[in-house]
């Protein structure tokens, strides 16, 4: 079996998708982003009260000083699976075991940017029995969002689309500001780096591969038409400003 076949069989086939759907079914879900807009929000009890807590990319490393605002639970990690997360050992076998023990991490979902790296997570589970299951976001849905935005979608917007495609009872989104684009005069959608926790963003040029403003409109449309979505005050104000 070649890598492509193995990847699709174990991580995006009917069996694994049904298992993930059952895991999410009728659950209250919170998606915690890395924006510093959560600073001082004291949301720990709110976030940790949800059935399932989801974070993205480097969300496995929650600074202690921010836990009162962002909570400390982590059930599902959605990731671009960028090579840097493996080269910098963020997703090493040892650390995956650590996240399982510390947070009881249950799933890692690859968002489509670097799909082949999901097999490393599968290998960890096979050889070390980490108990962390691996899944890939639908390639078809990834292409559909990319076509609609005409740019590569960010991990955040993929997570939102994926969760809403499942039978969840609520999705609360907090810690997302679309890089503060509604507060910036930079027409190129340059992100506001100080608004994000260190370690969550890569090189300054990477954001230009995404249509951040288009994603804001994308979410506003879903927010307007899907009563399951709840957002924090800051994100609510940003979506209100989008015309």
Superfamily of domain 3-241: Glycosyl transferase family 29 (3.90.1480.20)
Neighbours of 169 (CB within 10 A): 12
Name the residue with higher pLDDT: 28 or 10: 28
Q: 3-state DSSP call for residue 206?
A: helix
- Write down the pTM of the prediction: 0.87
Summarised one tens digit per residue, pLDDT across range 102-147 is: 999 999 999 976 888 998 888 887 767 788 999 999 989 999 998 8
**Given a cut of 50, is residue 61 above it in pLDDT?**
yes
- The alpha carbon of 148 is separated from its chain's Cα centroid by a whole number of angstroms, namely 19
Q: Which of 203, 209, 207 lies closest to 190, judged by CA?
A: 207
Give me the pLDDT at residue 5, please.
58
Summarised one tens digit per residue, pLDDT across range 145-181 is: 988 888 888 899 999 999 999 999 999 999 998 876 5
Q: Give the H/E segment covering residue 31.
A: strand 28-32
Residue 187: pLDDT band (50, 70, 90) is very low
Which structure tokens are listed for 95? 């650390």
């Amino acid at each position: 079996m070649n890598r492509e076949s193995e990847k699709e069989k174990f991580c995006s086939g009917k069996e694994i998708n049904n298992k993930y759907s059952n895991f999410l079914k009728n659950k209250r879900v919170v998606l915690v982003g890395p924006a510093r807009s959560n600073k001082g929000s004291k949301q720990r009890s709110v976030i940790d009260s949800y059935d399932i807590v989801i974070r993205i990319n480097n969300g496995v490393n929650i600074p202690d000083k921010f836990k009162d605002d962002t909570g400390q639970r982590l059930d599902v990690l959605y990731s671009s699976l960028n090579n840097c997360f493996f080269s910098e050992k963020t997703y090493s076998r040892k650390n995956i075991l650590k996240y399982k023990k510390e947070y009881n991490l249950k799933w890692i979902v690859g968002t489509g940017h670097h799909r082949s790296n999901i097999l490393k997570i599968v290998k960890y589970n096979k050889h070390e029995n980490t108990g962390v299951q691996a899944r890939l976001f639908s390639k078809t849905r990834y292409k559909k969002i990319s076509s609609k935005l005409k740019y590569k979608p960010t991990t955040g917007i993929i997570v939102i689309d994926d969760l809403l495609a499942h039978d969840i009872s609520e999705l609360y989104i907090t810690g997302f500001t679309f890089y503060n684009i509604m507060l910036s005069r930079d027409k190129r959608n340059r992100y506001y780096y100080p608004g994000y926790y260190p370690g969550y963003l890569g090189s300054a040029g990477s954001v230009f591969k995404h249509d951040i403003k288009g994603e804001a409109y994308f979410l506003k449309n879903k927010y307007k038409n899907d009563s399951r979505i709840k957002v924090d005050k800051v994100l609510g104000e940003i979506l209100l400003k989008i015309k």
